[in-house]
């Protein structure tokens, strides 16, 4: 299988804002090739956790490793992106006047190796990469459309394609199906299933039906640390989890 130990390892991470503990000794390991969902009520620390992984927020204490050797707490946000961690926020941020093809082409240019190669010209290898990504995100029929004309779901898939053009190993996705139609959500589940294995994914998600469709292990955050972890059905049956959700 694809598992070779953790791709992401957080240990004892704490973050405070003006004395408020947003993350409280959070420890978490994501296996290589795993798809992990992060759930938890508002304010649980999910966004702060993503901010720590991507270098946007520095932890007050604790360690955060990517693979065996890359200490993320010592890298800047751009360095972390180049190391192979792509992040997508909840709202789509595509270049709307540009075509789908041009959006993917532009994103590919942020891959350092490609940027160097492209100083000469766009070769057939790069065209192949764009074609493969178009197919993967289901937009092969829309390559020449302005991205601003895509549906909300298609924009979200395009943005995931833009992350893929940067050859990440780990994808962090914040509520990727928020605002999608049921059909788009179902297509997203298929897309994510196809990404799993080739990439590692951490998906922050409130839509429990979608979490169930994704399968795999679920981590429940609460008050900045892990409350429960395991298959969705077992964490949903956990009295501490029920308490947290009903006690809101």
- Considering only residues 3 to 32 of the shown chain, the ones binding ligand ADP according to CB under 6 A are 17, 20, 22
Minimum distance of ligand ADP from residue 48's CB (angstroms): 3
Q: Is 48 in the site for ligand ADP (CB under 6 A)?
A: yes
Q: Is 235 in the site for ligand ADP (CB under 6 A)?
A: no
Smallest CA-to-CA distance from 44 within 159, 205, 186, 187 is with: 205
Distance CA 8, CA 113 (A): 24
Q: Is 43 in the site for ligand ADP (CB under 6 A)?
A: yes
Q: Is 47 in the site for ligand ADP (CB under 6 A)?
A: yes
Distance CA 73, CA 212 (A): 32
Helix (H, G, I), strand (E, B) or coil at 100: helix
228 DSSP β-pair partners:
220
Q: Is 215 in the site for ligand ADP (CB under 6 A)?
A: no
For ligand ADP, which is the closer residue by CB, 36 or 129?
Answer: 36
Q: Is 40 in the site for ligand ADP (CB under 6 A)?
A: yes
Among 44, 75, 85, 203, binds ligand ADP (CB under 6 A): 44
Among 42, 69, 76, 124, binds ligand ADP (CB under 6 A): 42
Give the number of other Cβ atoms within 10 Å of residue 248's Cβ. 8
Specify the stretch interacting with ligand ADP by CB under 6 A; choose among 24-32, 36-44, 69-77, 190-198.
Answer: 36-44
Distance CA 59, CA 62 (A): 7
Which residues are CB-neighbours of 4 under 8 A, at least 6 positions away? 32, 33
Length of the chain: 248
Minimum distance of ligand ADP from residue 203's CB (angstroms): 13
232, 218 contact by CB (below 8 A): yes
Q: Is 54 in the site for ligand ADP (CB under 6 A)?
A: no
- Residues at the contact surface with ligand ADP, assessed by CB under 6 A: 17, 20, 22, 40, 42-48
């Amino acid at each position: 299988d694809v598992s070779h130990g953790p791709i992401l390892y957080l240990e004892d991470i704490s973050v405070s804002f003006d004395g408020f503990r947003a993350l409280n000794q959070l420890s978490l390991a994501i296996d290589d090739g795993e798809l992990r969902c992060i759930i938890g009520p508002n304010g649980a620390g999910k966004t702060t956790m993503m901010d720590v992984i991507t270098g946007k927020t520095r932890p007050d204490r604790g360690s955060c490793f990517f693979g065996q050797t890359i200490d993320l707490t010592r890298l800047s946000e751009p360095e972390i992106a180049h190391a192979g961690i792509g992040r997508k926020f909840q709202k789509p941020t595509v270049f709307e006047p540009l075509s789908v093809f041009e959006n993917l082409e532009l994103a590919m240019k942020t891959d350092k190796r490609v940027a160097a190669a492209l100083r000469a010209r766009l070769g057939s290898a790069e065209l192949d990469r764009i074609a493969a990504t178009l197919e993967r995100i289901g937009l092969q029929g829309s390559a020449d459309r302005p991205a601003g004309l895509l549906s909300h779901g298609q924009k979200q898939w395009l943005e995931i394609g833009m992350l893929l053009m940067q050859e990440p190993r780990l994808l962090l996705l914040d509520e990727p199906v928020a605002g999608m139609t049921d059909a788009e959500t179902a297509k997203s589940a298929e897309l994510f299933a196809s990404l799993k294995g080739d990439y590692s994914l951490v998906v922050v998600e409130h839509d429990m039906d979608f979490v169930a469709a994704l399968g795999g292990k679920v981590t429940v955050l609460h008050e900045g640390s892990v409350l429960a972890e395991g298959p969705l059905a077992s964490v949903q049956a956990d009295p501490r989890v029920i308490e947290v959700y009903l006690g809101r």
